[in-house]
Amino acid sequence: MTTIAPTGTQHIITAGDFQAVVTEVGAGLRELTHRGRPLVLGYPESETPYGSAGLPLLPWPNRVEEGRYDFDGQARQLSITEPKFGNAAHGFTRTLPWRLDASDESSVRLALRLFPQPGYPHIMDFTASYTVSSSGLSVETTAHNRGTTPAPYGFGAHPYLTTGAPLDETVLELPASRYLTVNDRKIPTAVHDVTGTPYDFRTPHPIGTLPLDTAFTALTRSPDDLIHVRLTHGSQGVELWAAQGINWLQLFTADPLPTPRRRAALAVEPMTCPPNAFRTGEDLIRLSPDAQVSHHWGIRPL
């Protein structure tokens, strides 16, 4: 009997010293290595992703409180997919099979048509394109509203970065000057300046024992017009970069995950909007019929 992986077909792409593995289910990044060194904390082919590891989050990232929101005067109810907190979390596409749209040795593009779901009466076409080159991994995700009415939309991705060292000893550089506090249901309550708080990583320093499941914004871009988040330990390092349109980053130290993944890596999640954006409307994209939007980010070693 042929064994089928829980995440379906495994798409392996290579270029120079880089190799990535992208999965059919969820269009997720299962592995990324440079000269055999992991840049993300992956998982075996025989397992499903832990903690949304490596997955695009569509058509919204993070949480929608109680799964309820209003759009264009219509009250809507999403399915509750985070029972512990009573929220709808991370969209619809994480467990769906994506079809192969194009591929070569160094790149793969997967596609998915999302039909209307409870609380989301829209038809959306998504593509997720992964490319490795001599400089690392580049990812482009595109959303296309194929329906006849405007659709609320937000993008996120969920890679776990690693230097190979214990997270507590890892140095974080994060160019963000504001962060969100949340209530016991993980829903934002207020925005704060990072100055004078443990959440100020504008000057790089070790993460230590600080638990993070925190959204950051007011992101400073470098002269190349990108956001750069860097993790280093000694001579080893890894960077996530994000292009225009990514105005939020969720950082997660994975404290709730069981050993050996608890605090084994740092999820650095590029997002177009904050948690609960379907409720608040903050930075929510209103995607008109036949309109498209793309998001670009990547990972490289330091």
Task: Give 10-301's CATH code, choosing from 3.40.50.1820, 2.102.10.10, 3.40.640.10, 2.70.98.10.
Answer: 2.70.98.10
- Taking the CA atoms of 255, 23, 67 and 296 in sequence, report the sign of the dihedral they define: positive
Percent of the chain clearing pLDDT 90 (strictly above): 99
Query: What are the residue ranges spanned by the domains of the chain?
Result: 10-301
Q: CA-CA distance, 272 to 142, in Å (whole number)?
A: 13
Cβ-contact 126, 93 below 8 angstroms:
yes
Query: Mind listing the pLDDT tens digit for each residue in 240-295?
Result: 999 999 999 999 999 999 999 999 999 999 999 999 999 999 999 999 999 999 99
If you average pLDDT over residues 222-235, what whole number do you get? Answer: 97
Amino acid 3: pLDDT: 85
Query: Mind listing the pLDDT tens digit for each residue in 102-115?
Result: 999 999 999 999 99
Give the global pTM: 0.97
If you average pLDDT over residues 120-147, what whole number do you get? Answer: 98
Query: Mind listing the pLDDT tens digit for each residue in 6-55?
Result: 999 999 999 999 999 999 999 999 999 999 999 999 999 999 999 999 99
If you average pLDDT over residues 168-191, what whole number do you get? Answer: 98
Amino acid 57: pLDDT: 98
Q: Kindly tell me if the per-residue pLDDT of 70 is higher than 80.
A: yes
Q: Kindly tell me if the per-residue pLDDT of 2 is higher than 90.
A: no
CA-to-CA dists, residue 96 to 7, 9, 251, 266, angstroms? 9, 12, 25, 25
pLDDT confidence tier of residue 207, bands split at 50, 70 and 90: very high
Amino acid 22: pLDDT: 98
Query: Mind listing the pLDDT tens digit for each residue in 141-163?
Result: 999 999 999 999 999 999 999 99
Q: List the beta strands (DSSP E) in 35-170.
A: 37-38, 56-57, 63-64, 68-71, 74-77, 88-89, 99-104, 107-114, 124-133, 136-145, 151-153, 156-157, 160-161
If you average pLDDT over residues 210-220, what whole number do you get? Answer: 98
Amino acid 48: pLDDT: 97
Amino acid 23: pLDDT: 98
